Structure 1
Amino acid sequence: MLGIGTLAKKAFGTPNDRKVKATRPIVEKINALEPEFKKLSDEELIAKTTAFKERYANGESLDSLLPEAFANCREGARRALGLRAFDVQLLGGVFLHQGNIAEMKTGEGKTLVATFPAYLNALAGRGVHVVTVNDYLAKRDADWMGKVFTQLGMRTGVIYPYQPDDEKREAYAADVTYATNNELGFDYLRDNMKSSVEEMAQRDHFYAIVDEVDSILIDEARTPLIISGPSDDKSELYVEIDKIIPEVTEEHYTLDEKQRTATYTEEGNEFIERRLHEVGLLPEHQSLYDPESTTIVHHVTQALRAHVLFTKDKDYIVRDGEVMLIDEFTGRMMQGRRLSDGLHQAIEAKEHVEIQPENVTLASVTFQNYFRLYDKLSGMTGTALTEADEFDEIYKLGVVEVPTNRPIARQDEHDQVYRTEREKYDGIIDAIKEAHAKGQPILVGTTSIEKSEALSDLLKSAGVPHNVLNARHHEQEAKIVADAGKFGAVTIATNMAGRGTDIKLGGNVEIQVMEALDANPDANPDELRKQIEAKHVEEEKRVLEAGGLFVLGTERHESRRIDNQLRGRSGRQGDPGRSAFFLSLEDDLMRIFGSERLDSVLSRLGMKDGEAIVHPWVNKSLEKAQAKVEGRNFDIRKQLLKFDDVMNDQRKVIFSQRREIMESEDLADIVVDMRRQVIDDLVDVYLPPKSYADQWDVEGLHEAALDRLGLDIPVAEWADEEGVDHDVMRERIYEASDALMAEKTEAFGTETMRNIEKQLLLQTIDAKWREHLLTLEHLRSVIGFRGYAQRDPLNEYKTEAFQLFESMLNSLRLDVTQQLSRIRPLTEEEQAEMLRQMAEQQGALEASMHAEAPPDPLAAPLADRREGFDETDPSTWGNPGRNDPCPCGSGKKFKHCHGRLV
C-alpha cells in the first residue's frame, strides 16, 4: 500500500520536478531563438555581447537578457568547440544563474554548462569566478572554454600558484576567471595585506560558479587557509616567565602524564597572579581571569608544561645551543622539528639557550566564510542531494537535480557483505578476473593509497594487468582516467581520483589525438583524427558488447556521496554499465555500525567460508549508518563555523576599514577623531567627570600628554585658573594637539603628511590585527574548559572576543596618535646619512646580483631630475605622490627613494 507522501508525489510531482517543469519554458525560448543566432556572422555575435552590456547598463535585468544571452553563447560554443548544448545543459545553466547547485550526472557536460551563466553574469562587468579543484583543471578549462568566450568577444583569465602580480591582476580583470579555491582564498588574504588599492589583485566578489561544489564547500571546508610569518621577538617574556616557574610547588598544579597535560590549581593561579604583579608582567588592576590576560595565561601554562612534562635527555636534548626533540618510538633526534604554540620557546627559555621566534598567523579565512563573500554563489556536481541540508543552512544554496540527457542504463547491484577482509578480497579478485576475461573495463575504487597498493599486489599475483592512479600528478591522472574505458582496462583509484575527466567507453579520442600529434608532429591532424575515430568506433562497440564500464567499490565510505561519485563514473550519457560494492565485517564503517550482531546473524544462517550475504536490508542499514556519521561530521563543521563566524565579523570590519583607508586621499578627519578619542580617555582617567579640581591628577595628565601626545602643556596652571572645568581642559588639549599637528603638516608638506598618516594607519592596523589573531587562537585553545563550569564556551568566546576587539581598537587609536606625535622631518645631517646608507645598500645589492648599476641618486643631475632639486632641502622637492618618480631623477618611485619614512 502506498504511503500518503508517495501518493502526493505521484499526483503533484516532487519539488524538484516542479522546479524543472517551471524552467522548461525558458529553454523553449532559447531554442526558438536558435535559427536567428545561427544566421549571425562571427562579428555579429561579438556585437550582440556589446549590445547586451549596454542594455544591462541601461537598467535591463540579467534575467530578461537570459534567453538571448544563452542563445548567443550556445552558438558561440558550437562554432568554437563544435559542441551544441543539449536542453538539459541549458536547464543546468539556468539553475546556476539562479544561485542553485545543479546536480548533474557524470558525462553530462558540466564544464560547458558553466559557460552559459558565466557569460550572462559577466555582462554586468564585475567579473565571474569559475572555481575548480586543482590547477590542472583550472588551466585546462580556461584554455578549452576560453575559446567560447573569445568567440563572443570576452576575455578569459586563469589564476595559478606563484603567478607574477601583473599577470594575476590582468587575469582577475578578465570577464571570466578560472581558479582553484585555494588560490582565490589566498589572494583574498594577500590583498588585505597590501598597502595600496593598485596592488590588490581581486576586484570584486560578484558571482562564483564552483565545480565539484561538494568537494570544495564540504570536504575541504574544515581546513582554514592560513598565511603565517615570524612573530615579534618575545624572548624577554619567555625568560621572565621562566624565572617564576621554579618557585611553583606540587600543590600549585595537577599533572596528567597520560594525557600529557598540566594545569594550575586555584592556589597555583593565585600564586602566579601575585608573582606576575610583583615582576610587572601583569598590570596591578588586571587579573588572570580578565580577557586581556589570555596571552599571559597561555605563556605561563606553556612554561609549566615545559618544566613538568618535558625532561632533558629523555624528551629532548640540547646540542650546539639548540633544543632538539627526541622521537619517543625510535630514540632518534628529530632534526628541524619544533613544538608549536610557544611550547618549544618555553623549553628554550628553561634551558637558557637562544630563543627562536615562533610562527604566527598573519591572516586566515575558512572556505565557508570566503565563499559567503560573493553576492551570488552557485555550484555543480554529480552528487549533492545527500548534503542538501548543509548547503541550505550554511550557504543558502538550493540543490536541483537536472534530468540526464539520456536515461541511465547502469545496473546498481546490492552490496556483497563477507565475514572477513581476506574473504572480501578473494571475492574482489574473482569478480575482476571474470569481468576482465570478457574484456569489460573495470574501475576499482579504494578508500586509501595503502589499500590501492595492497590490491595492486594481489592483482599482480593473479596476473591481471592494471593501472594505479597516482593523485600526485593531475595531468597523468587525467590520461589514465581517459584510458580507463578501453577494452580490458583495469584501473585502481582512490576516493576522489579522476574527477574532472570523463571515462568514455573505448577511450578518449581527444587525448589519443593529442598523444599521436606529440609522437608525430609532422602528421596531418585531420587524417590522424579520422584514423583514431574509426578505431574508436570499433573499440567502443567491443566495450558495449562486454557490458560497459564495471565500477567495483572495495569498501563503503563514511559519506554516501563519495560512494555515489564512484558509482556515477559508469553509465554516462545512457551507456550500459554496472556497479557493485564489496564489504566485510572488518571494514571501518561495518565495525562502527555494529558488526558483532551481524556476525552472529550470519553465523546462525550457516554461512560458509567465502560466501557473501546480498540483501536489500543490509543496504538500508548501511545507509542509516552513513547518515549518522554524516550528521555528526556536519555538526562538527557547524560548530567550527560558529566559532569562525565570531572572527569573521571582526575580519570584515578590519578589511573594510583597510580598504577605506587605502581608497581615501585624505585621512586627516580619521586621525583627528582618533586623537580626540585618546584625549577624551586621558581626561576621563586623570580628571574624572563630576570630580573637584583638587581631586584631579594634574601631574599624571601632564606626563601622559607628553608621552602620548608629544605635548608639554601647563596643566597645573590651567587647573588653578578660575572657572576651568573638565570640558575646558579637554578643549584646551584639543587645541594644543591640533596646533602641534598643523606645525608638523607645514614642516612635511600636506601631501607627504597625508601619505605618512596613511602608511602609519595601515601598518598599525596590520600589527594589531596579527596580535589579535594570536590572542584569539590562545583563547580558542582554553575556552572549552568553561563547559566544566556549566557555561556555554561559544557564548563565552563571543563575549571575550568582542572585549578583546574593543581593547585592540583602543590600543590602535593610542598607537597611531602616539607615533604621529613623535614624527619629525629629518635634519640635513640625517638626510645625508640616510642617502649614504641607501647608496651603500643599493651598491651591495647590485654587486651581489652582478647587475649593471642604475644611475646613482647622488650622482650628477639627470635629464629627468627636478629643476633646482637639492638633496638636503625638502622644500625643493615639490609634492610628489608616493608612487610618482622621485624628483632626484633616480628612476625609482618616491616612496622607495627620498620619500622613505625613517
Structure 2
Amino acid sequence: MFGAIARRLFGTANDRIIKGLKAHVAAINALEPEFQALSDAQLQGKTEEFRNRLAEGADLDDLLDEAFATVREAARRTLGQRHFDVQLMGGMVLHSGKIAEMKTGEGKTLVSTLAGYLNALPGMGVHVVTVNDYLAKRDSEWMGQVYRFLGLTTGVIVHGMDDEQRRAAYACDVTYATNNELGFDYLRDNMKFRLEEMVHRPFSFAIVDEVDSILIDEARTPLIISGPTEDNSELYRLVNRLIPSLSDEDFEKDEKVRAVTFTEAGTEHMEQLLIEAGLMKTGGNLYDYANVSLVHHSNQALRAHKLFTRDVDYIVKNDKVIIIDEFTGRMMEGRRYGEGLHQALEAKENVRIENENQTLASITFQNLFRLYPKLSGMTGTAMTEAGEFQEIYNLEVVEMPTNNPVARADHDDEVYRTAREKYDAIVTLIEECRTREQPILVGTTSIEKSELLADLLKKKKIPHSVLNARYHEQEASIVAQAGVPGAVTIATNMAGRGTDIQLGGNFDMRVRNELGADADPAKVEAIRAEVEANKQRVLEAGGLYVIGTERHESRRIDNQLRGRSGRQGDPGASKFFLSLEDDLMRIFGSQRMDTMLQKLGLKEGEAIVHPWINKALEKAQQKVEARNFDVRKNLLKFDDVMNDQRKVIYEQRKELMQVDDVSDEIVGMRHEVVDEMVARCIPERAYAEQWDLAGLHEEVLRVFNLDLPIVEWGKEEGIADQEVKHRVVDAVDRKMAAKAADYGPEVMRMVEKSLLLQILDQSWKEHLLQLDHLRQGIGLRAYAQRDPLNEYKREAFNLFEQMLHDLRERVTSVLAHVELRVGPSDVEETLAPHAPSEMHESRQDPAFAEDAEAAGLVRRDTSVNPSDPATWGATPRNAPCPCGSGKKYKHCHGSAAG
C-alpha cells in the first residue's frame, strides 16, 4: 500500500529513466534543422569526423546526440522513415546496455540502427541477433541501406555459408546473424587448428532482437556440436515395438515436469517383453550392470511414445523427424534431441534412424551471450521476466512509452467446460466479425489445434489462411495480408514473426508480389488507393480482432499475440477462450472447478466470465514461469562448472595457435610426467628398500620407449631419489634432442604443435563425455543427503585434473614413440586447414599411441619391408609407395587399403 502511494508521488524507477532520456531527445530534435540542411556528402562525412574524435579521446556518450541525429536524417533519406522520439529513447536504452520493451509495431528494427551505428564507430564490430535466417537477411538488406549510406559495412550470416563468407561477414561494422549461427561459429572456431581459419573477431557489442525468445525461451537447450558414435538403430527399432504392449498401470506420467517413469509392475512387464524379444537373458534384471544400454533405450522409447506428440512437439517431413519450437511454432531444421531421444522418435515414426552423437563442444546461450562485454536487447514483452534478465544477464528492462496511446480493448477470458463448446464459441465470434468485415487473427498453441480449427472453418465455408510450421515459406505474405477486411488468419504462435499486420493490407508487399520490379506507376497508385480504402473499412469495423484459443504457459506469449492488434494507436480488440480440457487448466487442477461449475448449473454452451478468473490463470502461469526459470537456472549452474573449464581449454588452444614453437610447453609436460612417475614409485621420505624401481623402469619404457638400468642405479651406494629423477630426465631429454636433430627443428616444431592440438581436442572430447555421464547420474546423490551441484563441482574438478594429467602423458608418449617418415612438404600438406566434417571425424580416432596416426603425419616404430606387401599397410599415407611406383602410398596401394 505504501509502495503504491510512493509510486504515485515520486513515479516508478522506469518513469525516472524515461524522464532522463527526454533531455537527450530535446537535444537531438534541436540538431534536426542543421542536419537536414547538410548535403549527402556532408552527412556521410560525419562518420569520419566521429571516428577522428574518438581517436582524440572522446567517448561514445559524447557523440550520442549528434550520431543519433545523423542516423535519423540518413534513415529519412534512404528509407523514407524518420525515427519517432520514443524510438530515439529506445536507441539510448540499447546503447546503455539495457533491454528496451517496445510494443509491437513501434519499429524496433529501425531503433537498432541508432545504437548499432554509434557502437560500430570504434570499428570493433556490432552483432544484431535475430531469431531466424529470414529476418537476418531481410534486416541486413533493409537497414543496411542506412549503414551503407553513412559509410559502414554490413554483413549477414545464414545457414549454408562457408568459412570465407562468414569471416568476411564478421569483419563488417554491423553483422546480422541468428543466435544459433553465432554460437556454432564460436564453438567451431575453438576446434580450428590455425588462427587464420577462425571466423569470429573478439566479441564487442550485441543487440538481441526478440531478446526474451532467445535469452529465455531457447536458453533451456544448449548448443552442441557432436560426432557420430556406433550404429544402434536396430536396437531402437526392437525396443520401440515393445512399448505399445504396455498398459497405463506400467508407467507414471507427470505433465507438469514432462517426465514419465516405469512403475514397479511396469519394470517387470518390460523385463518380460525384453526376454521374449531375445534382448535380455531369462531371469535377468533390467537394472543389472550388463543391461545399462537396455534401460537407456527403454526409457527413451517410453518418453517418445508417452510424452511427445506428432504435429505438436515435432513433425515428420522428407523421412525426417523435425522438432517444432514450442515458443514460435517454427521447424528447427538440423536440431536434434539428445541422449538417444531423437532416435527413439525416429523409430516410433518408422523413418530412417540416424546415429547417436557424442558431444565434441557445447555451450548454453546464457554463457555465450555473457561473453559480450556489452549486451542489449529489444522485444515487445520482457517485463514479466525482468527478474531473470537481471539475475542471469545483469540486464535491466526499461518499458518504453508508445508513440500513440494504445486503443485496443482487452476483454475478459471466457471459460467453457469442454473444448467443443469453446471452439463453437470461437467460430461464432469469427462469423460475427466477418459480417462487419473485421479482420481476425486466431492464435493457437500447436499445429494440431490450428488444423482442427481450420477444419471447423472449412465446414462452415469460411475462407482463411493457416500459418504454422507446415507453411513456413509463405509466412511473410500470410502475415502481411492478415489485416485486409474480413481476413481470417490462424497462427501457431506469433513470437518473432518480424512482419507487422497492417490494417487494410501491406502496400509494399502487394506491389512486390503483384507487380514485381518493373512496376507501372498507374498500377502502383491503384493498389495504394485500394489499400487506403480497405484501411478505412477495417477502422470502421473496429480494427484487428485477436482471438486466443487457450492460454499459453507463459504470459509473454499471450501478450505477444495480443500485441499484434492496436499497433501505432490503431483500434483493436482481443479475447481468450478457454476450456477445462486445455493443458494449462487440466494440469493445474480443473477437476474441482468442473465439479463446482456443474453444481452451479452451468448449461451447455454457456461460459463463465469474471476478472477473478483472469487473476487465477495469471497465478497459474506465474507458477509455470517460476518453474521454467528454476530449470534454466539449474542448467546454468551446472554449465557454469563446465564453462570455467571450457574457458581455460579454449584460451590455452588460442595461445598455442598464436605461437609457432611450443617446445617449451612440450619440455614442461615431459618433466612433469617424469616428476609424477618418480613421485609414485619413490615416495617422499621412503627408505631405499621401499622404492619400486622395477615399476619405474616399466613406466619409463612404456611412456618414453627407453630401456634404462634403473634397478641397477638403485644398487649404487647413497643414491638419492633426486639423482634418479635427474638421470631419467637427462636420458629422456637427450633422446628427444637427438630426434629433433634427425628430423630438423622446423619439422619437429610442426609435429609438436599439431600433435599437441590434436591430443588436446581428443582429451577434451573424452572429458565432455565423462561430464555428460556424470551429469546424468549426479541427481541420485540427493538421496544420500548430498547437494548434487556441489558433488558435480567436486567430481568435475577431479576429472579435469585427471584429463590434464593424461594429456601430458599422452603427448609425451606419442612424441617419444613416433618416427617421421615424410618430408617437410608432406608435413605441411597434412597440417593444411581441416574441413569441419573431416575435423569432426578426426576426433573419433582412438586415443593414446594412435593419436600420432590420428594427426596423419607420424607413425609408431614399425618396419615396412619393400619385398613383403603384408607390411605395406604400416606405410604413412603421404610416404612414397613401397612398390616403387614413385606415387604416394595413398594414391597407389594405399587407396585400395583405405
Partner of 1:373: 371
SS in 2 for 1:126: coil
Shift of 1:433: 0.5
Shift of 1:740: 2.5
Shift of 1:721: 4.2
- Aligned mate of 2:722, from 718, 727, 743: 727
Alpha carbons 1:761, 1:816 under 8 Å: kept: yes
After superposition, residues 529-568 of structure 1 pair within 5 angstroms as: 529-568=524-563
**Taking structure 1 as the reference length, what is the TM-score of the superposition?**
0.78
After superposition, residues 470-481 of structure 1 pair within 5 angstroms as: 470-481=468-479
Say if 2:123 is the partner of 1:125: yes
Partner of 2:346: none
Residue range with higher mean Cα deviation, 693-702 or 201-210: 693-702
Counterparts of 1:153 and 1:670 in 2: how far apart (Å)? 46
Shift of 1:453: 0.8
Partner of 1:592: 587
Alpha carbons 2:130, 2:179 under 8 Å: kept: yes
Partner of 1:304: 291
**1:535-579 deviation line (CA, Å, top 9, x unaligned):** 221111111011100001111111111100000000000000011
Residue range with higher mean Cα deviation, 94-103 or 718-727: 718-727
SS in 2 for 1:760: helix
Gaps of 5+ in 2: 233-261, 272-285, 310-318, 322-335, 344-353, 832-887, 892-897
SS in 1 for 2:216: helix
Alpha carbons 2:669, 2:812 under 8 Å: kept: yes
Structure-2 change in CA distance of 1:509 and 1:341 (3 Å): closer
Alpha carbons 2:179, 2:214 under 8 Å: kept: yes
**1:471-529 deviation line (CA, Å, top 9, x unaligned):** 345441111000001111110011236721000001111111111233xx5433x4443
Structure-2 change in CA distance of 1:307 and 1:665 (3 Å): closer
Shift of 1:344: 14
Shift of 1:144: 0.6
- Aligned mate of 1:639, from 620, 629, 634: 634
Shift of 1:708: 1.4
Structure-2 change in CA distance of 1:383 and 1:357 (3 Å): closer
Structure-2 change in CA distance of 1:82 and 1:782 (3 Å): same
Alpha carbons 1:477, 1:498 under 8 Å: kept: no
Shift of 1:231: 4.1
**1:395-419 deviation line (CA, Å, top 9, x unaligned):** 1111110110000011111111122
After superposition, residues 175-324 of structure 1 pair within 5 angstroms as: 175-231=173-229, 256=264, 258-259=266-267, 303-305=290-292
After superposition, residues 59-74 of structure 1 pair within 5 angstroms as: 59-74=57-72
AA aligned opposite 2:83: A
Say if 2:812 is the partner of 1:817: yes
Partner of 2:646: 651
Counterparts of 1:8 and 1:444 in 2: how far apart (Å)? 40
Counterparts of 2:720 and 2:28 in 1: how far apart (Å)? 77
Counterparts of 1:695 and 1:542 in 2: how far apart (Å)? 99
After superposition, residues 789-804 of structure 1 pair within 5 angstroms as: 789-804=784-799
Partner of 1:408: 406
**1:705-745 deviation line (CA, Å, top 9, x unaligned):** 23212334343454444553222332333333233222222
AA aligned opposite 2:797: F
SS in 1 for 2:92: helix
Counterparts of 1:394 and 1:307 in 2: how far apart (Å)? 38
AA aligned opposite 1:588: D
Counterparts of 2:361 and 2:296 in 1: how far apart (Å)? 32
Partner of 2:683: 688
AA aligned opposite 1:506: G
AA aligned opposite 2:467: L
Alpha carbons 2:495, 2:560 under 8 Å: kept: no
Say if 2:745 is the partner of 1:747: no
Shift of 1:261: 11
Structure-2 change in CA distance of 1:58 and 1:711 (3 Å): farther
Partner of 1:578: 573
Alpha carbons 2:483, 2:544 under 8 Å: kept: yes
After superposition, residues 594-609 of structure 1 pair within 5 angstroms as: 594-609=589-604
**1:224-266 deviation line (CA, Å, top 9, x unaligned):** 22111134899xxxxxxxxxxxxxxxxxxx9956258999xxx
Say if 2:75 is the partner of 1:88: no
**1:54-93 deviation line (CA, Å, top 9, x unaligned):** 3323432222222222122112211111111011111111
Shift of 1:632: 1.2
Alpha carbons 1:416, 1:614 under 8 Å: kept: yes
Shift of 1:699: 2.6
After superposition, residues 47-66 of structure 1 pair within 5 angstroms as: 47-66=45-64
**1:437-472 deviation line (CA, Å, top 9, x unaligned):** 000000011111111111111111222111111334
Shift of 1:119: 1.1
Shift of 1:342: 9.1
Alpha carbons 1:481, 1:501 under 8 Å: kept: yes
AA aligned opposite 1:483: Q
Partner of 1:349: none
Partner of 1:30: 28
Gaps of 5+ in 1: 235-253, 264-298, 316-324, 330-334, 346-355, 839-893
Counterparts of 2:590 and 2:583 in 1: how far apart (Å)? 10
- How many aligned positions are there? 753
SS in 1 for 2:484: coil
AA aligned opposite 1:621: A
Say if 2:7 is the partner of 1:12: no
SS in 1 for 2:220: coil
Structure-2 change in CA distance of 1:373 and 1:614 (3 Å): same
Structure-2 change in CA distance of 1:185 and 1:833 (3 Å): closer
SS in 1 for 2:362: strand
Partner of 2:753: 758
SS in 1 for 2:152: coil
SS in 2 for 1:162: coil
Alpha carbons 1:261, 1:305 under 8 Å: kept: no
After superposition, residues 330-369 of structure 1 pair within 5 angstroms as: 359-369=357-367
Alpha carbons 1:747, 1:825 under 8 Å: kept: no
Counterparts of 1:587 and 1:826 in 2: how far apart (Å)? 70
Say if 2:774 is the partner of 1:779: yes
SS in 2 for 1:544: helix
CA RMSD of aligned residues (A): 3.4
Partner of 1:523: 519
Percent sequence identity over aligned pairs: 61
Shift of 1:601: 4.1
Alpha carbons 1:706, 1:712 under 8 Å: kept: yes
AA aligned opposite 1:427: A
Alpha carbons 1:548, 1:576 under 8 Å: kept: yes
Alpha carbons 1:260, 1:309 under 8 Å: kept: no
Structure-2 change in CA distance of 1:20 and 1:306 (3 Å): closer
Structure-2 change in CA distance of 1:658 and 1:693 (3 Å): same
Alpha carbons 2:415, 2:577 under 8 Å: kept: yes
Counterparts of 1:126 and 1:635 in 2: how far apart (Å)? 35
Counterparts of 1:563 and 1:120 in 2: how far apart (Å)? 34
Alpha carbons 2:438, 2:541 under 8 Å: kept: yes
Structure-2 change in CA distance of 1:211 and 1:652 (3 Å): same
Partner of 2:462: 464
Counterparts of 1:95 and 1:344 in 2: how far apart (Å)? 41
Say if 2:704 is the partner of 1:678: no
Counterparts of 2:533 and 2:187 in 1: how far apart (Å)? 53
- Aligned mate of 1:490, from 488, 491, 494: 488
Alpha carbons 1:103, 1:385 under 8 Å: kept: yes
AA aligned opposite 1:258: G
AA aligned opposite 1:802: F
**1:640-693 deviation line (CA, Å, top 9, x unaligned):** 221121112111111111111111232122111111110110110122221233
**1:15-71 deviation line (CA, Å, top 9, x unaligned):** 111111111112222222222322333333332212322332343222222222212
Partner of 2:437: 439
